Structure 1
């Protein structure tokens, strides 16, 4: 792989790392604010975050498929087709976002009951979740529009938008949650209101950068137009990935329900530990997203040898980064966890989970990087099919039974086993070049569309 390619990958991965760091910091700040109200509030914050991540899978269908298709079109020099797909994503975001809003408003109590939320946690989580409904629609737009910017290699502009958006979210959340002067604030609901305002700002900034960088200005009808025929290539790539996400989230929710059965303390420990671990996977996430963008462009350009070398190097770097950060988190657990709680039992339990996370996070590297790389070649079916059994049997059923036998450490062991099983299946697919026929088919399709 040539030096320019390495520089371009680093140019994408660096801003992406900044974006992820900002997003995680806002979530960590929200958890910190919630934890200073009570462990129940922290548990409610973590529970609602998991519900929102599950629902946002629908948005990632668009972002996944959109990102791959735009990168392939741009790599193949088909800029008009890339612009058409970008505009179609706005209409799809409107319809999907409206549907998710309806689910949140109508299914609020049902979701919390299904997760076995303790009464103390549910009473805080129910009104908090309702406030997120309109913000989710704006989030759908922001995810799609950011994917288009990155696919055109405007990753620094995407980072600028995220700095403004997440900075606004965190600043407003602090004021609205904690209050100001004689005003006591709104507690958890303040975090959701701050998110709504920040996502509106993000949408305005995305529209401005689309116009300035890509001379792309949506018309009124673009916000509602959605044609299945034109959007089929995006769905062909996005739906298998979304199927994995839906299965993963469903299985993870089983593990969350198993955690909730263990009580408020276990739920708070689970929430604190997962939030801290999000920092561990930041580097691999950034490498994985940047790798997906570059592999898509290389497939569009027909340079499959460079794509192979890029992915192998990305996996090695990801393992080194995540392994080192997981070790640091485990060693620093007694001090890091005191940012959230003074409860000695919670801190001790979290430390055990973080040592188990050395196994969890190194296995997760393969999934974070190889899933995107395979999708970018057009090999979207294999990652989905190969993952289902592990997600259902190991993550879902395994976390339920291991949680009953060993408590939270048993649930964490199920997490780690699932990541390694799925990761090794993806690694074997790449190393044995099972993706090559799909990459060649993608290249032939792009050339046929161009002609």
Structure 2
């Protein structure tokens, strides 16, 4: 199945492979921090890991506009409505800039208090605070990158965002090397150096992506447009974005609570979780790429009112996501000792981490259900149901089971992973039932008001 863009056809494969590489490189950027800092100290890894969990939560706040942008632009283009596609892109950039500047300011002011709420061990607080202040203070850069990237992807320019991410990674790794290892007589900055490298690479990436956006789609950020464009654009963005952000906010908050539980086990358990989840991020790459590509295609199909094709596309993508994610989990489990050995030589971490990687063979297929089908439902306009079910499962299944098994019954990280498995599978099966019910075919977005 293929769809026609203005200058070429779009297929799932054509959209997905650049997204796959782009997302992989984004994850490599975080793993590069972990890998390089692991040569510096395990405490530095734990400090940056907890700070990044907070930053992921902040990125969710930016992501709700980016998600709405992807869906709406794809829908308008599918309906050949290029005027509204351009308008929604412009208002999305402007809105995310305003929101992200406010959030960045809050992070700078309250970083230490936030880390203390996370029950971060005192010995990790100084490094975690400076990292959070530097990277969080400039997080508005990431907000703009996310929104501009969403626009380009919806227009089908997934290769452009991939190339930009490649460049950002190269700059980031070079910066890490200079600041962590101090070649040529340079000072060894450790965690602050990694933060500086992160900010510089993102700033350069932002400048490049805005230039490409101007060349491809012919518009730039204009804050005045935020208050001038038709209100139905804002309503549609909020209709998609607020529930989506609510679900993601709930997920990340629940993960922070579970991280709090893990700090009760000890710093070594926290470090093991961070190393293992770095590997898990690569296992779920294909499902994530398929989810994003499918979301764009279904947006086009819904815009063209081809509901039967959208239904079939969602199921085909789901089967592909389950197969590849399971295969990757099996491969990673076979080589878990070698892969974890990249980060550490601690025997206890290697043993527990290996068990956790083995459990991901059960975890990843469930995650594929959620990634692909939730993205498909949202693209089809079914926004609230995935949000409600997500919040219910995260707080009714994942958090209590993590505490009961991990802390109360003293199963530690194994108990926590069992909670993750239960959460993903329960939600995934419910999402499959929702997709097959075709209830999403009745969902609608706000239309442009008719001229009086």
TM over 0.5: yes
- The change in CA–CA distance for 1:449 and 1:47 in structure 2 (over 3 A counts) is farther
1:414 aligns with 2:419: yes
- The change in CA–CA distance for 1:102 and 1:3 in structure 2 (over 3 A counts) is closer
Distance in 2 separating the partners of 1:24 and 1:217: 28
1:205-238 Cα offsets, whole Å, 9 max, x none, are 1221122112223346458989865411111011
- The change in CA–CA distance for 1:447 and 1:99 in structure 2 (over 3 A counts) is closer
1:265 aligns with 2:268: yes
Aligned ranges for residues 210-249 of structure 1 at < 5 Å? Answer: 210-219=213-222, 221-222=224-225, 230-249=233-252
Which segment is superposed worse, 276-285 or 183-192? Answer: 183-192
1:432 aligns with 2:446: no
Alignment-derived partner of residue 99 in structure 2: 96
Alignment-derived partner of residue 365 in structure 1: 368
- The change in CA–CA distance for 1:267 and 1:214 in structure 2 (over 3 A counts) is same
Distance in 1 separating the partners of 2:115 and 2:24: 29
Alignment-derived partner of residue 15 in structure 1: 18
Contact 1:132–1:196 (Cα < 8 Å) also in 2: yes
1:308 aligns with 2:308: no
* Secondary structure of the corresponding residue to residue 138 of structure 2: helix
Q: How far does residue 177 in structure 1 lie from its aligned partner after superposition? A: 2.3
1:182 aligns with 2:185: yes
Contact 2:178–2:186 (Cα < 8 Å) also in 1: no
Contact 2:232–2:447 (Cα < 8 Å) also in 1: no
Aligned ranges for residues 397-408 of structure 1 at < 5 Å? Answer: 397-404=400-407, 405=409, 406-408=411-413
- The change in CA–CA distance for 1:293 and 1:3 in structure 2 (over 3 A counts) is closer
Alignment-derived partner of residue 291 in structure 1: 294
Contact 2:74–2:299 (Cα < 8 Å) also in 1: yes
Q: How far does residue 2 in structure 1 lie from its aligned partner after superposition? A: 6.0
Distance in 1 separating the partners of 2:343 and 2:171: 22
Which segment is superposed worse, 186-195 or 366-375? Answer: 186-195
Alignment-derived partner of residue 138 in structure 1: 141
* Secondary structure of the corresponding residue to residue 189 of structure 2: coil
1:314-341 Cα offsets, whole Å, 9 max, x none, are 1111111110111111111111111010
1:86-126 Cα offsets, whole Å, 9 max, x none, are 11112211221112212211221222112111122223211
Unaligned runs of 5+ in 2: none
Aligned residues: 447
Alignment-derived partner of residue 381 in structure 1: 384
Distance in 2 separating the partners of 1:275 and 1:425: 28
Which segment is superposed worse, 381-390 or 278-287? Answer: 381-390
Q: How far does residue 11 in structure 1 lie from its aligned partner after superposition? A: 0.6
Contact 2:108–2:137 (Cα < 8 Å) also in 1: no
Contact 1:74–1:300 (Cα < 8 Å) also in 2: yes
Contact 2:105–2:137 (Cα < 8 Å) also in 1: no
What is the Cα-based RMSD across aligned positions, in Å? 2.1
Unaligned runs of 5+ in 1: none
Distance in 2 separating the partners of 1:307 and 1:166: 35
Which of 158, 181, 205 does residue 161 from structure 2 map onto?
Answer: 158
Distance in 2 separating the partners of 1:446 and 1:343: 58
Distance in 1 separating the partners of 2:319 and 2:451: 36
Q: How far does residue 168 in structure 1 lie from its aligned partner after superposition? A: 1.4
Contact 1:296–1:377 (Cα < 8 Å) also in 2: yes
* Secondary structure of the corresponding residue to residue 127 of structure 1: helix
Which of 33, 49, 53 does residue 50 from structure 1 map onto?
Answer: 53
Distance in 1 separating the partners of 2:257 and 2:297: 35
Contact 2:2–2:12 (Cα < 8 Å) also in 1: no
Distance in 2 separating the partners of 1:304 and 1:295: 9
Aligned ranges for residues 52-201 of structure 1 at < 5 Å? Answer: 52-201=55-204
Q: How far does residue 28 in structure 1 lie from its aligned partner after superposition? A: 1.0
Distance in 2 separating the partners of 1:424 and 1:228: 37
Q: How far does residue 33 in structure 1 lie from its aligned partner after superposition? A: 1.0
Distance in 2 separating the partners of 1:383 and 1:292: 14
Distance in 2 separating the partners of 1:227 and 1:272: 47
* Secondary structure of the corresponding residue to residue 439 of structure 2: coil
1:321 aligns with 2:331: no
1:275 aligns with 2:278: yes
Contact 2:72–2:85 (Cα < 8 Å) also in 1: yes
- The change in CA–CA distance for 1:341 and 1:232 in structure 2 (over 3 A counts) is same
Q: How far does residue 4 in structure 1 lie from its aligned partner after superposition? A: 7.8
Contact 2:405–2:415 (Cα < 8 Å) also in 1: yes
Distance in 2 separating the partners of 1:103 and 1:403: 33
